[in-house]
Amino acid sequence: MELYLGSLQVEESPTFTLNGKILDHGKGFYATTSRIEARLLAQKLMEDHHAARSFVNIYEMNETAMDSLNCLKFKGVSKKWLKFVMDNRLKRNFSHNYDIVIGPTANDKAYKQFDFFEGEILLTSSIIENLRALNLVEQYSFHTQRALTALQFIEAVPVTCKLSQEQLRLLLPSKITWLVEYLHDDYGLSIKDCLDQIYHSNLYKKLSTESTQYWHLGPIALYNELLQELGDGWGK
């Protein structure tokens, strides 16, 4: 099975220092089963650091080796997964003894739900339902040197600041979802009306065309431009 890591560097020898922040499963080396997700991360790192290029590092996972490792696998979003992630995020001295942890990859939208959990704004059942709707991709995290021996580096594919139209098509739904949420929350429009406004806007034409490079803008920047296009007094 192949795993992928988006990075600014070629990472032939995975170490815990690559992404050693306290993340979903604690300090460790993280890779995803989604090549597209890894590429999007590589693109984001390139933009954040104003780098000329980044890489999608590809590894072969020795699944047989996992039989001798202490593995924890979450089958999608669940209460047990959410508790495990929040323990890692919130409990200062929390640790575990797993070699490998497998579970959903939390993205920006998932972190928003985590904030709701921390602030006790929503019921846990509602947060679980919202997280499941995000269709989070799967990730593997490696927490011991023994676990890292199950990974074999294959190659690093360079990434430049350009997406194919097919890749852009896969990226657009997440951007549109954010814009819909903002319009709905700020103006109380129905989902259909929000989508009508977005899909008939000049912003959408720019966003859906790779050469404009609008796909790399964050949701807030896109939303501000949409409001500017709609004009003063719109939605009142």
- Cβ neighbours of residue 190 closer than 8 Å, sequence gap 6 or more: 184
Q: Which helix (H) or strand (E) holds 184?
A: helix 165-187
- As beta bridge partners, residue 183 has none
Pairing of strands 138-142, 29-32: antiparallel
Res 20: pLDDT: 42
* Residue 43 CB burial class (10 angstroms; 0-12, 13-18, ≥19): buried
Where are any strands of DSSP class E within the chain? 2-7, 29-32, 54-61, 71-73, 100-104, 138-142, 151-159
Say if residue 21's pLDDT is above 60.
no
Give the other-Cβ count within 10 Å of 42's Cβ: 26
Question: 20 is written with which tokens?
Answer: 């050693």
- Please tell me the pTM assigned to this model: 0.63
Six token digits for residue 100: 């490998």
Q: Which amino acid is at 88?
A: N
* Structure-token pair, residue 163: 């997406």
| Whole-number Å distance between alpha carbons of 103 and 75 | 7
Cβ partners under 8 Å of residue 233, min gap 6: none
Per residue in 53-77, pLDDT (tens digit) is: 899 999 999 988 888 999 999 988 8
Which pLDDT band, with edges at 50, 70 and 90, does 36 fall under?
confident
pLDDT in tens, 195-216: 999 999 999 999 888 778 787 7
| Mean pLDDT confidence for 106-124 | 71
Query: Residue 18: what pLDDT?
Result: 44
Query: Could you report how far apart the first and last alpha carbons of the chain are, in Å?
Result: 53
The band of 19, judged by pLDDT with boundaries at 50, 70 and 90, is very low
pLDDT over 90 for what percent of the chain? 35
Which pLDDT tens digit goes with each residue over 144-203? 999 999 999 999 998 876 566 676 777 788 889 889 988 988 888 899 999 999 999 999
